[in-house]
A and B are shown apart, each in its own frame.
Chain A
Amino acid sequence: MSTAAGEVVLEARGLRKHYGPVVAAAGMDLEIRRGEVMALVGDNGAGKSTLVKMLSGAIRPDAGEIVHRGRAIQLHGPHDARERGIETTYQDLALAPNRDVIANLYLGREIVRGGLLKPLGILDRREMTRRATDQLSRLGVRLPALTGTPVGRMSGGQQQGVAVARAASWATDVLFMDEPTAALGVRQSEAVLQVARRIAQSGVGVVLITHIMPHVMEVADRVVVLRHGRKVADMTAAELRQDRLIALMAGYEEGEAA
């Protein structure tokens, strides 16, 4: 696996987040590089989701800085992040259960007919279906039906496929995946990891949160370990040994990057 660090596309500097007395993020630093799959690991409650949510505009940090393409930015909502090509699949699935696959893939960025009708916002379902069919093929995501069937009626794995495909379709800079394989069988997990790989190869920085160590070993170019709202280790796949990783997560061993 190549560990050559690409350009740093998104950076967290000293991000902090408190929930009352709970310190979810106690000053976190992170560098996300293009072309790299980063595994973000740590025990339950370590602050992984919190970090990702801050970097994808879903929550506001209390302090610290977010740097995108070398410039400090403010994210006023997920909308802001998405406009910058920063996409996320959330741990708690963010799908519209009663809508079909096409509507979900294009949720919030529907293609509408142009010309005089444009202000009316009339959907161009045919164009959306055409592009989605293409995109899903390219990503290797298989779904039973693109139109007419609400995604809420699909299996957990298929729904996860929709969520992953949606984020992957639009990510140009960063793709965050918060436990995308948590509910999946072996084959679907494999497919999701493949998507992560392919998206990284296209020059996107991919951040994968997971508790499944074999997945980390299989796909990650870099591994970052969080504990109690802090980064305790940041290493390349080459430096990585699984037993050491588990020790770090559990706190038996102090990492070099406290």
Chain B
Amino acid sequence: MEASTYPGNAPDTRDGGRVRALLGRVAPEQLGLSGMLVVACVIISMQSPYFLQGENFANIGTAVAVSGVMAAFTTIVLIGGGLDLSLGAVLVLAGWAMATALDAGYTAGAAIAFALVVGAGCGLVNGLLIVGVGINPFIVTIGTQFAFRGITYAWSGGGAKSTPVDDPTIVALGSDRLLGIPLPVYVLAGMFLLAFCLLRFTRFGSNVYAIGGNLAAARLAGVRVDRTRILVYVLSALSAAVAGVLLIGISGAAIPIAGQGIELTVLAAVILGGTALMGGRGTVVGTLLGVLLLGVINNGLTLLSAPSYWQMIVQGTALLIAVVFDEVRRKRKETR
């Protein structure tokens, strides 16, 4: 083989190379995160015997499903060097769209499809403003956050109005179980698997990493940068629409004021999971760990009947700690 003349060029196929190639290297931060997860579980289970029961795990799964679904795709957004702060607003707008369709007598399937179309439309608006017009994603998605939620309020005839949803399929999606596991957990797992495969196995994923790492280089290399970036925002908004459907299934009502600030919970989980705020680096596996860690801590606080503001304090602090870690990592890389 020619390559033997150039031993340095041998592809990495030593033992374990395959497995590692499939899962990606286990980053130290992922080990650290897993450790923190275990520690949190041990501490909470010592305080509350209820924690380790199967029923409680089902609760945690359902509780993290809504933000988790979005976290999976926010990972893609951040890796691509973007930001989407309109998730909570897209969630309620798509959810209200579904409730309206159900009200008008459409089937659950058609209503869900309508929610997804509305979600994709929101994502397209974000994408076109950010990529097409070239405005900073932070500004654009704060703007659309207000716009989309405002549209939801207008459509529902005022923000305080919510409407019960009793469609059996939707309610089942939020509360039924299969093999003892709540259906939202399956949706969560499916969305994570989808995001994982997109990033690891497809040209799209490869290009997202390249764009987040060095946008100019990706463009010079001939990557269809604009198309890829718009698609990233469409996928992000679609995940928010899925979350909106789930939330209605779980709560049994479409609530226009729901999901406020949920994008920060999502961001905290993603950055905690080791994804760089500045793009180019990150993994879906890390995000999953971040989601679980925040879910377990919130669950622990509930079990210990801590007042609910503690959850806000913990989440805000977690976001800040994650950002500090991210910054430290970045600085260390620069000075290498």
Which residues in A have some Cβ–Cβ distance to B below 8 Å?
Answer: 58, 77-79, 82, 88, 90, 93-99, 102-103, 107-110, 112, 120-123, 125, 129, 133-134, 136-138, 140, 142-148, 152, 166
Contact = CB atoms under 8 A, between A and B. Distances in A.
A134 B2 contact: yes
Contacts of B220: 58, 78, 88, 90, 94
A120 B8 CA distance: 33
Interface of B: 2-3, 5-6, 8-12, 17, 20-21, 25, 201-204, 206-207, 209-210, 212-214, 216-223, 280-281, 333
A137 B9 contact: yes
Max chain B CB contacts within 10 Å: which of A58, A103, A121?
A: A121
Contacts of A94: 214, 216-217, 220-221
Nearest to B5: A137
A96 B209 CA distance: 8
B215 to A, nearest CB: 10
Residue in A88, A96, A143 whose Cβ sees the most chain B Cβ within 10 Å: A96
Nearest to B219: A78
A107 B21 contact: no
Contacts of A138: 2
Given A97-B280, A123-B203, A134-B3, 20 more contacts: A78-B222, A95-B214, A96-B210, A96-B213, A97-B214, A98-B209, A102-B11, A107-B223, A108-B207, A108-B221, A133-B3, A133-B9, A133-B10, A134-B2, A136-B9, A137-B3, A138-B2, A140-B6, A147-B12, A148-B21
Contact of B218 (A108, A121, A146, A148): A108
B203 A146 contact: no
A16 B151 CA distance: 50
Contacts of B281: 98
Given A95-B214, A103-B210, A129-B11, A142 B6 contact: yes
Contacts of A112: 202-203
A93 B213 CA distance: 13
27 contacts: A77-B219, A78-B221, A79-B222, A82-B222, A94-B216, A94-B221, A96-B213, A97-B213, A97-B214, A99-B209, A107-B210, A107-B223, A108-B221, A112-B203, A120-B202, A122-B203, A123-B206, A129-B11, A133-B11, A134-B3, A137-B2, A137-B9, A140-B6, A142-B6, A152-B213, A152-B333, A166-B221
B168 to A, nearest CB: 34
A250 to B, nearest CB: 32
Contacts of B20: 148
A251 to B, nearest CB: 32
Nearest to B281: A98
A121 B202 contact: yes
A110 B223 CA distance: 10
A98 B280 contact: yes
Contacts of A93: 217
A122 B207 CA distance: 12
A110 B17 CA distance: 22
Nearest to A120: B202
Contacts of B3: 133-134, 137
B8 A144 contact: yes
Contacts of B212: 98
B197 to A, nearest CB: 9
Given A78-B221, A96-B214, A143 B209 contact: no
Contacts of B21: 125, 147-148
A82 B209 CA distance: 21
Given A107-B221, A122-B202, A142 B9 contact: yes
B280 A146 contact: no
A123 B12 CA distance: 17
Interface centre among A58, A102, A148 (most CB of B within 10 A): A148
Contact of B12 (A78, A79, A110, A146): A146
A82 B210 CA distance: 18
Given A96-B210, A137-B3, A109 B222 contact: yes
